[in-house]
Amino acid sequence: MMNNRAAALLALVFLTALSLRFYDCMNPAYPHIDEALIGQAAVNYWHNGQFEPAHWEHPPLKQIIPYISLHFFGDNPYGWRVPTIFFGSIIAALTFLFALGTSGSQRTALFAGMLIATDPLHIMLSRHAFEEIYCSTFFLAAVVLLVWHKQRSSWLMLSAFCVGCAMATKWYYFPAWFLLILFALYENKNYRSPGSVIFISSAYLFIPLSVYTLVFYNWFGRGYTFTDFIEFVSNVFTSMQQYTLDNYQTGLVFISHLSAGEWFTSSIVVGDGHYFGNGTGQFILAGNNLPVWILTIPSIIVLLVIAARRKSLTLALPSLFFCGTYMMYLFVKRPAFLYSAAPLLPYAFAAIAYTVSHCAERYGIRFYYAALALTLTWNIYLYPLATHKTVNVTPYRFILKSKDIIIR
Amino acid sequence: MLKHKTAYTLAICILFICSMLFVSRHGENSRIFASGKNVHTIGVPEKAYYIWKESNVSGRTLILFDSYPHNMGLISYNGIPQLTKTNLIEYSIIKNIIRKIYLIVPEMEWNDFRRQKFIRPIREASDLAKGLYLYNQSGIPLIAVTPSTLPRIPEESLVYINKRLFKSDEALGLLEQNKISSDIVVIFEGVK
């Protein structure tokens, strides 16, 4: 599966993602959304073991990674954004490997990788230090290591370590974590060997729990013990379910859309920007890129049907991880903002890519290239709106008329 | 076939146990207690902070005989937080003197307290008949309890008594009855 051509395509996907995220990343030079708090929260956690001004319900790896970055680059746009730019580029490469590992097709892998490399929302989140980028990269790394492990125990342990890092950033993948364990037990019929069952179960439970606990080292330094930790985690679990709109800043651009049910079915464009008066303007918009995203639910179903026909659990993985994570958003009582869709995108795009490749088998290779060209053209057209570039507003007027864009 | 399963499984279990012990020990070692048993009477609340600071205490449980709320966070301040008449508790949390609070609510006021709009309960304290975890910006465990349900606390605690709201003799009697020891008791009786 992994030959020189695949390696070249992988490099192409990674470099595309990196270029689009890194280019002009100092723009805007001022903090956008939570970036104003990143430095203070990172320093406060590292030195005092406290979470403020961030939410205390969020695990602290999201403070530790920026702290390291701020140490090297300083409390400036590079310091805030370099980690998510890097992680956001890595995830494009991981999406390629995931799609390749599950479908066995380089075309599917290229399509999936390029979708995430050029997705305007993912680019916007990567360029503005959203921790969703960290956790989704860690979890996808865990999945990729599991898919590609070829009976290497060390890769499984590394995969479990990545699960721990994902959970130590945000809890998005709690249901998917258990899917991962079930898949690890199922593949190669590991469940038939008691030794393998004990090894896989202990690796995927104890390594993530150890990582999760150890990232709280600075918090423990305030005098807490493991008993206090259990009490704290119980409070986190309960408190997170009680979140309402009042817990968020009123100026947060995402608060106009609260339901995850909209993400893949209706158009969402939020963000802020300003007009210069000469027909140009600058914007940082976050949208669900509906022309592409609307293919998600049909593709998830198509992939599940094909996987069931072929009796291939590996092929069904994009759909299973998508459903496992998305269900949580759909049924949770608290608001679900659009940026929380980022952890779903690798699985959604892998499913879309597979469906397009499958259609190309029936309608010819031109269908595949046309779909790829069309998608990339559309995404590149939206790129300036997600990245604070000065744009002529006329070609974008149908997007900019959204009532959820705050003009400053 | 997965290789070295037994060795890796053992290593993982050891790693997990060591992680738990390591962080717990780190936490316990971070608690600093005052020497002896000291009782202080103060006229302004912020004096309590200076008593705790001079005693160099850190990472402590506070038994608070006072009123609620104590819910300001870093974000509530313009710039660096300063100690004021009203933010003794929050400020001491910021300075890592306090890590956990038992807020004593008089027995007769418990039902009214629970109905107050200014409190935001997180959950019931399952091991206490009348105990409620309250939301606060810093995320420390803040547990409202009645005198009859105050649990036995297996470490020396800081005690703060607002004499305007609680009788200090009764409060100290409650601690003795529950076998709770304290290295620093601060009694706020206001300016005479």
Q: pLDDT (tens digit, 9 = 90+) per residue, A202-215? A: 999 999 999 999 99
Pick the residue of A156, A206, A234, A252 with the most B CBs within 10 A to test the interface with B by mutation.
Answer: A206
Parent domain of B1? 1-30
How many CB atoms lie under 10 A from the CB of residue A106? 20
Q: Which residues are within 8 A (CB) of B96 and not within 5 positions of it... i.e. 6 or more apart? A: A48, A49, A50, A222, A223, B58, B59
pLDDT of residue B192: 53
How many CB atoms lie under 10 A from the CB of residue A105? 19
Residue A247, pLDDT above cutoff 80: no
pLDDT of residue A37: 87
Question: What is the length of chain A?
Answer: 408
Q: Is B14 on the interface with A (CB under 8 A)?
A: no
- Clarify whether residues B22 and B82 are in a common domain: no
Tokens encoding B169: 């003799």
Q: How confident is the model at residue A64 (pLDDT cuts 50, 70, 90)?
A: very high
Q: Which of residues 194-213 of A touch B (CB under 8 A)?
A: 195-196, 198-200, 202-203, 206-207, 209-210, 213
Q: How many domains does chain A divide into?
A: 1
Tens digits of residue pLDDT in A14-46: 999 999 999 999 999 998 888 888 889 999 999
For chain A, how far is it from start to end, CA to CA, in angstroms? 50
Q: Is A235 on the interface with B (CB under 8 A)?
A: yes
Torsion, Cα of A111, A115, A117, A122 (10° steps): -160
- Clarify whether residues B75 and B145 are in a common domain: yes
Helices assigned H by DSSP within chain B: 5-30, 46-54, 88-94, 110-115, 168-177
- Clarify whether residues B9 and B85 are in a common domain: no
Regarding an ipTM greater than 0.90, the answer is yes
- Tell me what the mean pLDDT of segment B126-146 comes to: 92
Q: Which of residues 153-192 of B touch A (CB under 8 A)?
A: none
Using an 8 Å CB-CB cutoff, list chain B residues near A184: none
Least confident of A336-345, A399-408, B106-115: A399-408
- Clarify whether residues B111 and B176 are in a common domain: yes
Pairing assessment for the beta strands B98-104 and B142-145 based on DSSP bridges: parallel
Q: Which residues are within 8 A (CB) of A39 and not within 5 positions of it... i.e. 6 or more apart? A: A66, A70, A75, A79, A80
The percentage of chain B sitting over the pLDDT mark of 90, rounded to a whole number, equals 72
Q: How confident is the model at residue B84 (pLDDT cuts 50, 70, 90)?
A: confident
Q: How many domains does chain B divide into?
A: 2
- Clarify whether residues B7 and B66 are in a common domain: no
What does the buried/exposed string (b/e) look like for A156-191 if buried means 16 or more CB atoms within 10 Å of the residue's CB?
bbbbbbbbbbbbbbbbbbebbbebbbebbbebeebe
- Clarify whether residues B76 and B146 are in a common domain: yes
- Clarify whether residues B40 and B7 are in a common domain: no
Helices assigned H by DSSP within A119-252: 120-127, 131-147, 153-167, 174-186, 194-214, 217-220, 226-241
Tens digits of residue pLDDT in B16-58: 999 999 999 999 999 999 988 899 999 999 999 999 999 999 9
Nearest CA in chain B to A214: B19
Neighbour order of strands in the sheet with B131-134: B38-42, B182-188, B157-162, B60-65, B98-104, B142-145, B131-134, B121-124
- Clarify whether residues B64 and B133 are in a common domain: yes
Residue B77, pLDDT above cutoff 90: no
- Please tell me whether residue B3 adopts helix, strand or coil conformation: coil
- Clarify whether residues B138 and B56 are in a common domain: yes
- Paired residues of A376 in beta bridges: none
Task: Categorise residue B145: left if φ over 0, alpha if ψ from -120 to 50, beta otherwise.
Answer: beta
- Clarify whether residues B115 and B24 are in a common domain: no
Q: Is A51 on the interface with B (CB under 8 A)?
A: yes
Identity of the amino acid at B141? P
Can you give the pTM of this predicted structure?
0.94
Nearest CA in chain B to A235: B122
Q: How confident is the model at residue B132 (pLDDT cuts 50, 70, 90)?
A: very high
